[in-house]
Amino acid sequence: MNREEVCARIEEIGIIPAVRVSSPEDAVFAAKAIHHSQIPIVEVTATVPRAIEVIAQLRREVPDLVVGAGTLLDVDTAWHCLDSGAQFLTSPGLVLDIVAFAKKHEVVVFPGALTPTEVSTAWNAGADFVKVFPCAQVGSENYIRALKAPFPDIRLIAAGGVTQHTAFDFILAGASALGIGVALIPSESVRHRNEEQIRELGRRFRKLVKEARSRRAQP
């Protein structure tokens, strides 16, 4: 998939599951469970042991899964992730070197940002989306709504503390997508290899996104 196709997939699905676990085996299990839940996107965080190998394995074994690299803090790590097959790059904060690197290599990038200044700086630097992080701790959906007022054309991803109770409201407030971690991939489900629970959570979040988008489209 090219850059435009990856962006379109993210906008279509509206959910970016973040895999942040303690072993490569756990990460592969979680990513495949997400894929089976009909969410064809996953972000493997750089905090996962041997994350680069996990990304490469998933690209080989699940070719229709969009696999990205998250929690990137420097260009060197971004380069290794891209070389392993990562289809998007994301960071928890605004690292403009990573944005420039992604633009140079025609790969989707969405840096983290919090303040209006950071959001506009990220977008003007060429980010495909801007990940507002951490959302839940700074006003939740009301903060997204406040940012969308001056920045109606910036595609925002709400991340950090998104749950089943808040997902609908984040989308309704104007978020293009949601970054979701443990609320979608519980540690207990991974530890006990309970794929069914992850699939059920995926179904619930997909339904919430669909319903919120339908509500938002109403006049």
What's the CATH code of the domain at 60? 3.20.20.70
DSSP 44: E
Side-chain-side CA neighbours of 43 within 13 Å: the count stands at 29
Tokens linked to 185: 């991939």
- The secondary structure element, H or E, covering residue 187 is helix 187-191
- Average pLDDT in the chain: 97
Tell whether the model's pLDDT for residue 206 goes beyond 90. yes
Range of the structural domain that residue 49 is part of: 3-217
Residue-level pLDDT at 151: 98
Residue 219 has what pLDDT?
A: 79
48-86 per-position pLDDT tens digit: 999 999 999 999 999 999 999 999 999 999 999 999 999
Q: Beta 108-110 vs 15-19: how paired, if at all?
A: unpaired
What tens digit of pLDDT does each residue of 152-161 get?
999 999 999 9
So what's the pLDDT on residue 11? 96
Total domains, the chain: 1
196 CB neighbour count, 10 Å cutoff: 12
Confidence class of residue 188 from pLDDT cuts 50, 70 and 90? very high
Q: Which two tokens stand for residue 12?
A: 């279509």
pLDDT digits (tens, 9 = 90+) for 13-49: 999 999 999 999 999 999 999 999 999 999 999 999 9
The whole-angstrom separation of Cα 184 and Cα 18 is 9
